[in-house]
Amino acid sequence: MSKKKIVAEETNFQKNDAFNLTMIPGAFARKMRTCLIWQFIRFITINIKMIIVVGKSH
C-alpha cells in the first residue's frame, strides 16, 4: 500500500464543496506573507501605491 501524502495547506479543499471550487495559497505563498524581507518590500510598495491613490482622490 502506498504511503499517504498529506499536504497540510491542501486539506481544506475537502472540507466543503465551496472550498473545493476556489484557490488556496500553498506553502510558499503563505511563507511569503510573514517573510520579513519580502513584507518590508511590500510595505514600501503598498505605501507608495496608497499615497498615489490618496493624491488622486484629493
Partner 1 sequence: MARLVVLGGGVAGHTTATFAARWLGSEHEVVVVTPNAKWNWIPSNIWVGVGEMKKEEVTFDLAPVYAKAGITYRQAKAVSINPEGGESSDQPFVTIEYTSADKAGQSETIEYDYLVNATGPKLNFGATPGLGEGSQLGEHTVSVCTSDHAVHAFEKLTEAIEKMKAGTRQKILVGTGHGMCTCQGAAFEYIFNIEHELRKAGVRDMADIKWISNESFLGDFGMGGLHLKVGGFVVSSKLFAESLFAERNVEWIIGAHVSKVEEGKVHYELLDGSTGEEEFDFSMLIPPFAGVGLKAYNKAGEDITDTVFAPNGFMKVDANYNAGAYENWKASDWPKTYQNPTYKNMFAAGIAFAPPHIISKPMSSPNGTPINPTPPRTGMPSGIIGKTVAHSVCALIAKGENAHLHEASMAKMGAACVASAGKGVFTGTAAAMTVYPVVPDFEKYPGTGRDTNYTFGEIGLAGHWIKHILHHLFIYKAKLNPGWTLIPE
Q: Determine the residue type at 6.
A: I
Amino acid identity of 24?
A: I
Going by the DSSP 8-state scheme, the letter that residue 22 receives in this structure is S
Cell 506553502, located at residue: 27
Site string for partner 1, 20-49 (x = CB under 8 A): -xxxxx------xxx-x-xxx-xx--xx-x
Counting residues that bind partner 1 (by CB under 8 A) gives: 32
Q: Does 9 bind partner 1 (CB under 8 A)?
A: yes
- The answer to whether residues 13 and 30 touch, using CB atoms and an 8 Å cutoff, is no
Q: Which of 3, 5, 19, 28 binds partner 1 (CB under 8 A)?
A: 19
- Closer to partner 1 at the Cβ: 2 or 14? 14
